[in-house]
Structure 1
Amino acid sequence: MSGLRVALIASSRHPIAQPFAGGLEAHVWHLAAALRARGTAVTLFAAAGSDPALGADTVSGPAFAPSAAAAGDPSAAPAPFLADHHAYLGLMLRLRDTGRAEFDVVHNHSLHYLPVAMAAGLGVPMLTSLHTPPTPWLESAVALGGAGGSAFVAVSEHTARLWRPTIGQVGVIGNGIDIDRWPIGPGGPDLVWTGRITPEKGTHLAIEAAAAAGRRLHLAGPVSDPGYFRTAVAPRLGSAVVYHGHLHQSGLAELVGSCAAALVTPCWDEPYGLVVAEALACGTPVVAFARGGIPEILDPHSGVLVAPDDTAAMAAAIPAATALPRTRVRHRARTACTQQRMVEDYLRCYRRLIDAAAPVAGLGAA
């Protein structure tokens, strides 16, 4: 696949750089790095400030400042919506005009509707990775425009099932991590929780479970909802609950590897569960709510699943989880969560799309 030219479409709001805004940004960063390591030319469409060390050609969407007349329209959408719309519209128009000459395939990771809605007009094959359950805007674009433009894969079987009523058959390519960046750690007596600090991630439930288990809890991640942090998390901080801030990957790996178990407490059905894979790579067993795609990652040798929102059950499961051999836990990451497997799957998918589009492109050129 040397010489392949791939455009990766990411978030127009968040740079693809450490410390990552969320799992989606981390995923795109690692995919871009892994593709380049395989000899692929990568162009990244993302927010300004993305990591220059990736070596990718990074292109930010055009900024938008409405005129005074447009800004005064009482029916105008909120400014963030307009900014996203303008950025993705500009990107898709650029790809419509130059995409066939610049790229062999476009790989869409955004959650915006416009890349899917406009995919059929690009003249270059597009693959969309479905990182979330259906949302109204994206589902509308998929239902009306996706069938003739983009191909689709989901990040878990759980996510694929939710999309099949709209798309039909959709394959699965699970997210993967660079195992070498998450070395096995020595463990320790404490517990750890990582992720965006926001109500749907259930940080407060991890605090409750750790308190019930009588263990100290370490927290790390960006404060995505300041009001939630202020009311549900900050009052509990102290010697038993320690917040380490928003860590870069190496510091996060060190923290996770130093703990006895990781608690994963989503209050919604996680499409994949990247923090689970990261903990397993560090040899740190996971106790998680059985929601979304998480049960597809964990097995009995790497962690314990408990009923959603049941912090008492989570606390009770911690001794069993911490008794699991850390080498067996890491083995699960090696067999189920590797970046190498993910990249090989995506490269095969790219090749199928390119080969399928070749006769059509040839006819168009003639």
Structure 2
Amino acid sequence: MTLRICLIASSRFPVAEPFMGGLEAHTHSLAAALKRRGHEVLVFAGPGSDPALEATTLQVAPFSSSEAARSDVGGRPEQWMAEHHAYLDLMLSLARGDHGHVDVVHNNSLHHLPIAMSRTLPAPLLTTLHTPPIAWLESAAEFAASNAHYVAVSDHLARSWDHVVTAETIPNGIDTAAWRPGPGGPRAVWSGRLVAEKAPHEAIEAARLAGVPLDLVGPAHDPAYFAREVEPRLGAGVRYLGHLAGEPLRRLVGEAGVAVVTPAWDEPFGLVAAEALASGTPVAAYARGALPEIVTPDCGRLAVGGDTASLALAIREAMVLDRAAARRRAVEHFDVEVMVDRYEETYRWLSGVRDAA
């Protein structure tokens, strides 16, 4: 049975390569896979999203507060208000039926309004939780419809939300046909947003201690952090290659001997680790958040969070692991088709609940 699914993405970043982060990559993989299976997917996403998704742009109209409003030091930031109005317009249009019948609304955003306004929808709402508890999402859950359902991208994340909602776990998936096994090589790779909570500067320190050259790739999303912590550490075997997308990124990861993952927080999932494993590249990571659910002894090594000496040892040990075992781990547990199977089951269950009501 084919379904008509409304998929709400983030309005802040486009759902297109090069992806700004795991949330955008996840949304793209899910939407593309559902379309391949014959479902009709209405995607609502930020400007500049992949034309192949045929997404409706969430219009984040410029907003300028009045002088009177600016006099209130507790007033909301301009960007917050603009995004609020974009999601408010979307939810009201769905409630009116402007987009026709849908079987399920899948909220893949981090905004509170899809949850808070779920009682107005003619279809059940499924929300995928991508982050640890956020105050505005916790508050919105109190107003959610009785048939609102939640998915967490890891067991660790589900546990962090269990004081608010009950969530089933559906791990994120990647296209293992695109992330093909690579030959490996003498260098390490670090990929992701170059921001403080991802701590790429600690990956540099650990790689130097391990005596392994390192390539950094990803958007320098926090220029001040990059200038302060990353740029001075470049050179002597450490390179920053920019924000790579698509095949160049996949080739680089496949040609690395180890992928280094250094979250300074409890990582909700760790998509870059799954991508590396699909490339046959073992992972050396801090044992934070969901990473112990992804990285097992046959495909990587875990280090004490924040301990670069421990991570250096993990890098050296991971580089000699069997690349075929790393690839097998990704294909069996984190393939996009495995993920979509689970989402399809959930969509159909929710549609049945709605039809039986």
1:315-340 CA distances to partner (integer Å, 9 max, x unpaired)?
Answer: 11223211111111100001111101
- Measured after TM superposition, the shift of residue 49 of structure 1 is 1.0
CA contact (8 A) 1:289 1:306 kept: yes
CA contact (8 A) 2:18 2:246 kept: yes
Take 1:208 and 1:69, find their aligned partners in 2: how far apart are those partners?
48
Q: 1:236 aligns with which of 233, 236, 248?
A: 233
Match of 1:326 in 2: 323
Q: How does 1:112-127 map to 2 (within 5 A)?
A: 112-127=111-126
Higher helix residue share = 1
The 3-state SS of whatever aligns with 1:254 is helix
1:180-227 CA distances to partner (integer Å, 9 max, x unpaired)?
Answer: 111111111111100000000010100000010111100000111110
Matched, 1:151 2:149: yes
Q: How does 1:192-341 map to 2 (within 5 A)?
A: 192-341=189-338
CA contact (8 A) 1:282 1:330 kept: yes
Q: CA RMSD in A?
A: 1.5
The 3-state SS of whatever aligns with 2:163 is helix
1:136-157 CA distances to partner (integer Å, 9 max, x unpaired)?
Answer: 1111111x11352521010000
Deviates more, 1:57-66 or 1:106-115: 57-66
Take 1:18 and 1:141, find their aligned partners in 2: how far apart are those partners?
31
1:210-262 CA distances to partner (integer Å, 9 max, x unpaired)?
Answer: 01011110000011111000010011112411011001121111111111101
Match of 2:44 in 1: 45
Number of equivalences: 356
**Which amino acid is the alignment partner of residue 307 of structure 1?**
V
CA contact (8 A) 2:285 2:314 kept: no
CA contact (8 A) 1:42 1:57 kept: no
CA shift in 2, pair 1:114/1:45, >3 Å: same
CA contact (8 A) 2:258 2:284 kept: yes
Match of 2:340 in 1: 343
The 3-state SS of whatever aligns with 1:165 is coil
**Which amino acid is the alignment partner of residue 160 of structure 1?**
A
- Measured after TM superposition, the shift of residue 170 of structure 1 is 1.9
Match of 1:189 in 2: 186
Take 1:320 and 1:234, find their aligned partners in 2: how far apart are those partners?
27
CA shift in 2, pair 1:97/1:16, >3 Å: same
Q: 1:165 aligns with which of 163, 166, 169?
A: 163
Take 1:76 and 1:149, find their aligned partners in 2: how far apart are those partners?
33
CA contact (8 A) 1:191 1:262 kept: yes
- Measured after TM superposition, the shift of residue 286 of structure 1 is 0.2
Take 1:49 and 1:319, find their aligned partners in 2: how far apart are those partners?
40
The 3-state SS of whatever aligns with 1:80 is helix
**Which amino acid is the alignment partner of residue 26 of structure 1?**
A
1:111-151 CA distances to partner (integer Å, 9 max, x unpaired)?
Answer: 11111000111011110001111011111111x11352521
Q: How does 1:25-64 map to 2 (within 5 A)?
A: 25-54=24-53, 56-61=54-59, 63-64=61-62
Unaligned runs of 5+ in 2: none
CA contact (8 A) 1:118 1:149 kept: no
Match of 2:84 in 1: 85
TM-score of the superposition, structure 2-length normalised?
0.96
Take 1:101 and 1:358, find their aligned partners in 2: how far apart are those partners?
17
CA contact (8 A) 1:100 1:122 kept: no
Match of 2:63 in 1: 65
- Measured after TM superposition, the shift of residue 61 of structure 1 is 3.0
The 3-state SS of whatever aligns with 2:76 is coil
- Measured after TM superposition, the shift of residue 70 of structure 1 is 6.4
TM-score of the superposition, structure 1-length normalised?
0.94
CA contact (8 A) 1:134 1:163 kept: yes
The 3-state SS of whatever aligns with 1:235 is helix
